[in-house]
Amino acid sequence: MRWLQRFDFRLLAIFLLVTGIVHLIATFMAVNDARGSAYSRLARSLPKNQMTIAAAVTPQHQPLPFLAPDEHYAFCLFDTADTTIRVRALLPDLGWTIGIYAPDGHNLYFAAASADRETTVDLSIVPADDRFLGLPQTSSTKAGGTPQAVDTQQSIAAEKGLVVVRAPDKGDPYRADEQAVLSKASCAPGGA
């Protein structure tokens, strides 16, 4: 018991405190490490500002983890440094979705097809800075009581990111139609 009297418990407390601090720093650094993110993995293989239909997901070909093998995907890596990006897609049936994600994985926009009708997505991705983009259009009525046309195009602000269009694979009889609709999805420089 004599060694217990000579033991400096302050050193043990300091050791535990330093261990806790190192653990917290390592945890925060691991969370903020974007080298292995979906955005950085796809940035090495995709052209910028152009929609690209990905090959079918198989065990040998998985562009990203956790992609479903019964889905078809189109990706667009966008960058609004020089221009506004125009995104257009048709979501014809249940299971079709479009998502726009920031490089860190935050969801900027998401739309899913409706069972009752086709969903058309037409939006602009504008630079995320302090540029004046004009006043938003609102519905109004002319003096004669007839409503004016309203611009239904949406705009979101983002500097960089990823557009993902997902189409369900309903099997061989539908595959050509699914690919035709998926190939019409676009992501290209264009006006707001």
Residue 79 included in any domain: yes
Are residues 13 and 47 both part of a single domain? no
Lowest mean per-residue pLDDT among 5-9, 66-70, 95-99: 5-9
How far, in Å, CA of 30 to CA of 23, rounded? Answer: 11
Are residues 23 and 95 both part of a single domain? no
CATH number assigned to the domain comprising residue 106: 2.60.40.1610
Instruction: At 4, list the tokens.
Output: 């217990």
Are residues 121 and 89 both part of a single domain? yes
Are residues 28 and 42 both part of a single domain? no
Quote the DSSP letter at residue 124: E
Each residue's pLDDT tens digit, 78-135: 999 888 999 999 999 899 999 999 988 889 999 999 888 888 999 999 987 755 555 4
What is the model's pTM?
Answer: 0.71
Alpha helices in the chain (DSSP H): 2-6, 9-32, 38-43, 172-183
Q: State the Rg of the chain over Cα.
A: 25
**Cα 6–7–12 angle (5° rounding)?**
160
Are residues 57 and 79 both part of a single domain? yes
**Cα 116–118–122 angle (5° rounding)?**
140
